[in-house]
């Protein structure tokens, strides 16, 4: 959105000012939602939506790693399935057999380590150590064999140090204020939706609850503080969260350890990663996200509720063919439509008495149930309100002629 008004090439200072300011307003908006106790909004992200989103995001993230796994130099920045595959097959001349061989070997190593940990819980540490072992081993191999001169892409020299403070670059006045606020609101909604979706996805895997209000405040405060430390709008990263989950992380303490490790690395250890091959990083990410495709749960949803399964498919195909944000929006929209349909068109059943008991059941499902003479017992599976009164009148008239 900012690029349409300001060029980052022609006026980089102004562009950074607007980017950091938009981040501040995005965080302010997100934190305000949490303070206003609007966390119930995340309840619209149903299990079917999350399963579809998780599978779609896993596919997209895996496909994005083809750049590293195949050694492609020119690769699309788009996230859709079609652009990614098009980029892969239009650049077959850039494929590197050395990169493919190394990627295949480390991918097999990581998958075997994951399989061993799943089959033997006592060896849980194997899958946690495997990524670190792969990075160290591949870096040593590349350095010893000078593999960067034989088609293996490496990270290269990285700049040391932390980002400088940026609170003096926040832009709260002038002709661009409206653009900054608008961009902050839009990006804030997108990052909040994606972050909460990622959070609820991993919460479902570990059977714990997510407090929407706390999530909104946490993400909001993160962006407010980030705007003062040279950060743009941030959200929950799917691929890095998957790697963290695959390593066996159980609590938020893992994030503290990870943050300290990243800080120490940025300050002192960057030269050590100069020869780390990109292909190994891609293999680690693929191994982490491939286990998030939950086919058994998707099949279970299909058996229980076909409408929910349609929501799942919309989330999945929306993510892989359009984008993560649009895929989520489509799935949530269909879920809301289902809720409205259930409110305006509630299910009604005629009940009959089970002889010899005080139990009443649906006449269509229980053959032994019989109608009570002189009475019509109608069960309405929703509260009566103005939105469904007309429909319920029609159902009563129809039921009275039963």
User: Tens digit of pLDDT per residue, the chain (402 long)?
Assistant: 676 677 777 888 888 888 999 999 999 999 999 999 888 877 777 888 888 888 898 898 899 899 989 988 888 877 788 888 999 999 888 898 889 999 999 999 999 988 888 888 777 778 878 888 999 999 999 888 888 777 788 888 888 888 888 888 887 887 888 888 988 888 888 788 778 878 887 887 777 888 888 889 999 999 999 999 888 888 877 777 877 777 777 788 888 888 898 889 888 888 888 889 999 999 998 988 887 788 998 999 999 988 889 989 988 999 899 887 788 788 888 888 888 888 898 988 889 999 988 898 988 888 888 888 888 888 888 888 888 899 988 888 887 776
Query: Is residue 162 within 8 Å of 264, Cβ to Cβ?
Result: no
Give the pLDDT of residue 224: 94
Tokens of 32: 């305000």
268 secondary structure, DSSP code: I
Give the pLDDT of residue 51: 87
Tell me: domain 347-400, CATH 3.30.750.24, correct?
A: yes
pTM: 0.74
DSSP one-letter string for 279-338:
HHHHHHHHHHHHTT--HHHHHHHHHH-HHHHHHHHHHHHHHHHT-HHHHHHHHHHHHHHH
- Residue 256, number of CB atoms within 10 A of its CB: 10
**pLDDT tens readout for residues 11-38:** 888 888 889 999 999 999 999 999 998 8
Give the pLDDT of residue 4: 67
Distance CA(92)–CA(98), nearest Å, equals 14
Could you report how far apart the first and last alpha carbons of the chain are, in Å? Answer: 60
CA dihedral in degrees (338, 344, 347, 353; nearest 10)? 150
Give the pLDDT of residue 173: 81
Distance CA(19)–CA(184), nearest Å, equals 9
Cα→Cα distances 399→47, 345, 362, 377, Å: 35, 15, 13, 9
Distance CA(205)–CA(192), nearest Å, equals 20
Domain ranges of the chain: 2-341, 347-400
Distance CA(297)–CA(207), nearest Å, equals 14
Residues 6+ apart with CB under 8 A from 197: 45, 49, 50, 53, 236, 328
93 secondary structure, DSSP code: G
């Amino acid at each position: 959105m900012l690029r349409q008004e300001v060029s980052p090439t022609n006026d980089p200072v102004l562009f950074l000012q607007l980017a950091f300011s938009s981040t501040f307003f995005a965080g302010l908006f997100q934190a305000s939602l949490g303070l206003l106790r609007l966390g119930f909004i995340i309840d619209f992200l149903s299990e079917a939506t999350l399963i579809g989103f998780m599978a779609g995001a896993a596919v997209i993230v895996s496909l994005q790693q083809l750049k590293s796994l195949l050694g492609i130099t020119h690769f699309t920045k788009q996230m859709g399935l079609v652009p990614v595959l098009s980029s892969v097959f239009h650049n077959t001349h850039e494929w590197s057999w050395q990169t493919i061989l190394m990627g295949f070997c480390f991918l097999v190593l990581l998958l075997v380590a994951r399989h061993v940990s799943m089959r033997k819980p006592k060896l849980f540490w194997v899958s946690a150590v495997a990524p670190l072992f792969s990075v160290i081993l591949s870096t040593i191999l590349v350095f010893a064999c000078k593999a960067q001169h034989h088609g293996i892409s490496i990270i290269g020299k990285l700049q040391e140090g932390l980002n400088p403070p940026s609170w003096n670059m926040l832009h709260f006045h002038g002709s661009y204020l409206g653009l900054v606020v608008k961009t902050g609101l839009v990006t804030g909604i997108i990052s909040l939706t994606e972050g909460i979706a990622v959070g609820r996805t991993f919460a479902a895997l570990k059977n714990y609850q997510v407090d929407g209000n706390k999530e909104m405040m946490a993400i909001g405060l993160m962006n407010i503080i980030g705007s003062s430390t040279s950060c743009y709008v941030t959200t929950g990263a799917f691929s890095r969260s998957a790697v963290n989950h695959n390593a066996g992380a159980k609590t938020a303490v893992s994030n503290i350890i990870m943050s300290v490790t990243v800080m120490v690395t940025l300050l002192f250890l960057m030269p050590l990663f100069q020869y780390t091959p990109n292909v190994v990083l891609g293999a680690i990410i693929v191994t982490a996200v491939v286990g998030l495709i939950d086919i058994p749960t998707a099949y279970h949803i299909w058996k229980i509720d076909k409408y929910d399964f349609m929501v799942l498919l919309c989330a999945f195909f929306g993510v892989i063919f359009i984008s993560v944000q649009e895929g989520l929006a489509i799935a949530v929209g269909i879920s809301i439509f289902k809720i409205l349909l259930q409110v305006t068109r509630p299910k009604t059943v005629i009940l009959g008495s089970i002889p010899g008991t005080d139990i009443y059941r649906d006449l269509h499902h229980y053959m032994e149930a019989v109608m009570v003479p002189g009475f019509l017992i109608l069960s309405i599976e929703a509260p009566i309100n103005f939105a469904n009164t007309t429909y319920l009148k029609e159902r009563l008239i129809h039921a009275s002629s039963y």
